Structure 1
Amino acid sequence: MKNDKTVTRMQNRYIKDTQTKKKIKNRRRVALARRLSGLAIILAIVFGALFFTYTKQALLLQEKKAEKVKTEQKLADSKKEEKALKGQINKLHDDDYIAKLARSEYYLSKEGEIIFNTPTENEKKKTSAN
């Protein structure tokens, strides 16, 4: 004789309800996992976009600051040049300065005056180096 030990499950209302509850619980768990993973993906995309935008803006700000420093330096140089040019204009209103400038730059002289050219420091260095 065969020793069959097969067990049949009872098919009553309680068992069916318990199995249905387990299936519903599993479906809810799977649905929750899918929603959470979808939310995680969306959050990762949003944070990635925010990080990219922040980095881009930070680099742009750094470039603008460097440009500002350069522009401020140019402005300071221009103001120095303007001040020097205004000083030159004021000096050019003086007749004695104009006469001295004409004598030194253009070798002009007064009546009976003799001009001697003396070597400048650059010319002295060139001749002493040879």
Structure 2
Amino acid sequence: MSTRRKRVVRKKRRQKTPIFKLILIIIFGVGIYFTYSVIVEIYTTFELKAQLAKVEEELQNIKDENTYLIAQKAKLEDPDYVQSYARGNYMLTKDGEEIFYLPAIEDK
């Protein structure tokens, strides 16, 4: 190859190099964008899983409380239980009964 031909080839390579660099920069930028998007999605997934666990725990607590309240409702529908509860907690008496307060026994 002649020197003149070599110069022409070098000149063409130099002209192609900026386009190649631009394409590489664009590909690199797109790669960074997709990597960032994946990281954000993973972070969001972990946050949602933590929130789901918290809500499921709250739901279980509410279900337990609901079960307790249903049992209390059933007890309060029984007249004997209501009478016993009122006599024990509010010191209510039947006609002719008296309440005696006894001193507490102290352990020595």
Length-normalised TM-score, structure 1:
0.70
Provide the rounded CA distance (Å) in 2 between the counterparts of 1:34 and 1:119: 100
Provide the rounded CA distance (Å) in 2 between the counterparts of 1:119 and 1:53: 73
Percent sequence identity is 29
Which segments of structure 1 move beyond 6 Å, counting only runs of 4 or more? none
Following superposition of structure 1 onto structure 2, how do residues 26-41 of structure 1 map, counting pairs within 5 Å?
A: 26-41=10-25
RMSD over aligned CA atoms reads 2.5
Following superposition of structure 1 onto structure 2, how do residues 1-130 of structure 1 map, counting pairs within 5 Å?
A: 18-116=2-100
Length-normalised TM-score, structure 2:
0.82
Q: Which has the larger radius of gyration?
A: 1
Deviations 1:66-95 (A, max 9, x none): 110111011100000001000111111111
Question: Cα–Cα, structure 1 residues 23 and 71, in superposed 2: closer, same or farther, change >3 Å?
Answer: same
Query: Runs of 5+ in structure 1 lacking a partner?
Result: 1-16
CA drift at 1:116: 4.4
Deviations 1:72-130 (A, max 9, x none): 0111000000010001111111111101111122221222333345789xxx8xxx9xx
Q: How many residues align?
A: 106
Provide the rounded CA distance (Å) in 2 between the counterparts of 1:68 and 1:53: 22
Query: Runs of 5+ in structure 2 lacking a partner?
Result: none
- The residue identity in structure 2 corresponding to 1:71 is V
Provide the rounded CA distance (Å) in 2 between the counterparts of 1:118 and 1:27: 113
